[in-house]
Amino acid sequence: MAGSVQFDLVSPERRLASVAASEVQIPGADGDLTAMEGHAPTITTLRPGILKAVSSEGTKSYVVTGGFAEISAGGVSVLAERAVPVEEANAALFDALLSEAREAAAVTEDKDAAEKLIADMMALRAAVGQ
């Protein structure tokens, strides 16, 4: 595929993707970004969101809850705390994610960050339609 980057997505449970992609849309903690061939080397943390990879096989979307993305001359590597294909995301998953976020919020001193995490999880749930 001309104009492509190697895209790899892994979570602690499994490798979810390893394809040549024309673009990778990343939900960065400081804002969304799209990595394509020739992108400047970058490392960013992820916020809860939908990560998309466009390849010759079509567009594949993944729910990610956090982690890191590294964009380099060699491609795009995403190490996600938790990642699942959008089609596997269900109400039970989002219930568990929100419960974990609320439990963490109850014991943290950084209430602003905790509220943002809960809001991001709720927005992610809405974006997936759950």
Instruction: Give the Cα separation of 80 and 128 in Å (integer).
Output: 18
pLDDT digits (tens, 9 = 90+) for 68-87: 999 998 899 999 999 999 99
Return mean pLDDT, the chain: 92
**Which superfamily does CATH assign the domain made up of 5-85 to?**
F0F1 ATP synthase delta/epsilon subunit, N-terminal (2.60.15.10)
pLDDT digits (tens, 9 = 90+) for 93-125: 999 988 988 888 888 888 888 888 888 888 889
Token duo for residue 130: 């759950």
Model pTM?
A: 0.88
Whether pLDDT at 2 is above 80: no
Q: Domain coordinates of the chain in residue numbers? A: 5-85, 89-128
